Structure 1
């Protein structure tokens, strides 16, 4: 029986499913050992993280500390070879302020050999920061 190659979009979809269910082990399994994961400058976790463990501990675990019900809703996939752009939105409630967010986001993934090797986030960071700020 021939094993079918998994498409880059399928790898990315597995990453979103793992994230949505909080399964960090499954999420790490979608990431290459030398992954470069970049959260946008101005985002609370802005910077580039490397290694699957580095990504989950510095991004997903940190988001869980500051936000309730953080979910990336992946609604449109634009695959182009090893590149997959996903148009999505984040929803969550900030634990410190009680303010919700519902913000559009674009993610660019590069998938090689069935693993995510690069990720870059594009998001309206002002809306995220507004939800983290207490009203005067």
Structure 2
């Protein structure tokens, strides 16, 4: 790989998404997403649903998380890669802005990466723990 080439392997693309998210760099995060991305937050999660387009994902998910939580971070620690599929075992940490309760919960994310872009995302998380932190 040349000096100016970006690693477009599925794991590298997913890692760039986590780094951009942690830095609050939504423009860089959008650059990892395909124009027709399908981003699914798990049923029971406060932002449950499927979002499309890079702008739709960042406005409906990342910006809203930032409005509701202080320090929302997805800590990616284990990657399992099978072709275009990347499963990441991670942890969410944050403090809810209204309740002041901390969140520290394990999560699994399934990404599908094609052509150097994330085309699909599905979240798996203990939604009861998230709800408990968000409830007074």
What is the TM-score normalised by the length of structure 2?
Answer: 0.96
Contact 2:10–2:114, Cα closer than 8 Å, also in 1: yes
Once residues 68 and 6 of structure 2 are traced to their aligned partners in structure 1, the CA distance between those partners, rounded to angstroms, is 40
CA distance in 1, matches of 2:74, 2:41: 14
Q: Find the counterpart in structure 2 of residue 77 from structure 1.
A: 79
- 1:40, 1:115 → 2: CA distance? 21
Query: What is the alpha-carbon distance in structure 2 between the residues aligned to residue 5 and residue 47 of structure 1?
Result: 30
> Which residue number in structure 2 is paired with residue 25 of structure 1?
27
Q: Give, in angstroms, the shift of residue 27 of structure 1.
A: 0.1
The correspondence for 1:119, drawn from 118, 121, 125, is: 121
Matching residue of 2:95: 93
Cα separation, partners in 2 of 1:4 and 1:64, compared to 1, 3 Å: closer
Runs of 4+ off more than 6 Å = none
Mapped to 1, the partners of 2:130 and 2:113 lie a distance apart of 27
**Cα distance per residue 1:86-129 (max 9 Å; x no partner):** 00000000000000000000000000000000000000000000
The runs of 5 or more residues in structure 2 that have no matched partner are none
User: RMSD in angstroms over aligned alpha carbons?
Assistant: 1.3
Give the length in aligned residue pairs: 134
TM-score (norm 1): 0.96
Distance 1:101 1:4 in 2: 34
